[in-house]
Amino acid sequence: MTEAMHPAAPSLTFFASITVDVDAPISIGNTAHGGRKIIPIRGGTVTGDGWSGKLLDAGADFQLYPSAEIAELTAMYVIEATDGTTIFVDNHALRTGAPEDLEALVSGKHVDPAKIYFRFATRLSADASSPFAWVNSRLFVGTGTRQPETVRLDFFVVN
């Protein structure tokens, strides 16, 4: 096959880093689909390329543990940029690692981030008349790092 038959891979452009402040987990227990927890999102900071903001106390991370090695995370929350624009975040993540590392992580212990695979795909929504209206027509991906009290997420626009 010639090179012309293969499309170019998409590139990524940095969008923002978010530090998420979380509250104590709410354990639902071991359900038919696996263990379930809800992690309330209480706030946080956002640092973007030429912009900044904060997370509002308006969201949660809904976690499913189908096995000892896998966590499926669905987080929904709101960014408020310093210009007043609110941006809804709908984030779907996969966090995997050795069972003992994931157990230590969810127990609030520090685990070397190199031992945990934490990636996500995100859709953002903003008012169509806002300076952030362009996010409505883009996909975002990123990497995460879970610390005992916070979560750091680095977002990239898929070009």
State how beta strands 70-81 and 34-48 pair. unpaired
Q: What is the mean pLDDT of residues 124-147?
A: 96
Q: What is the mean pLDDT of residues 54-83?
A: 97
Query: What pLDDT does residue 148 have?
Result: 76
pLDDT of 33 strictly over 70: yes
Query: What pLDDT does residue 20 have?
Result: 96
pLDDT of 149 strictly over 80: no
In CATH terms, is domain 9-158 a member of 2.40.160.20? yes
pLDDT of 35 strictly over 80: yes
pLDDT of 2 strictly over 60: no
Domain boundaries, the chain: 9-158
Query: What pLDDT does residue 121 have?
Result: 98
Buried b (16+ CB within 10 A) or exposed e, 20-48: bbbeeeeeeeeeeeebebebbbbbbebeb
pLDDT of 106 strictly over 90: no
Does the pTM exceed 0.85? yes
Report the alpha-carbon distance of residue 34 to residue 67 in Å, rounded. 7
Query: What pLDDT does residue 111 have?
Result: 92
pLDDT of 78 strictly over 60: yes
Residue type, 9: A
Q: What is the mean pLDDT of residues 2-20?
A: 89
Share of the chain above pLDDT 70, in %: 97
pLDDT of 1 strictly over 70: no
119: CB partners within 8 A, 6+ apart: 93, 94, 141, 142, 143, 144
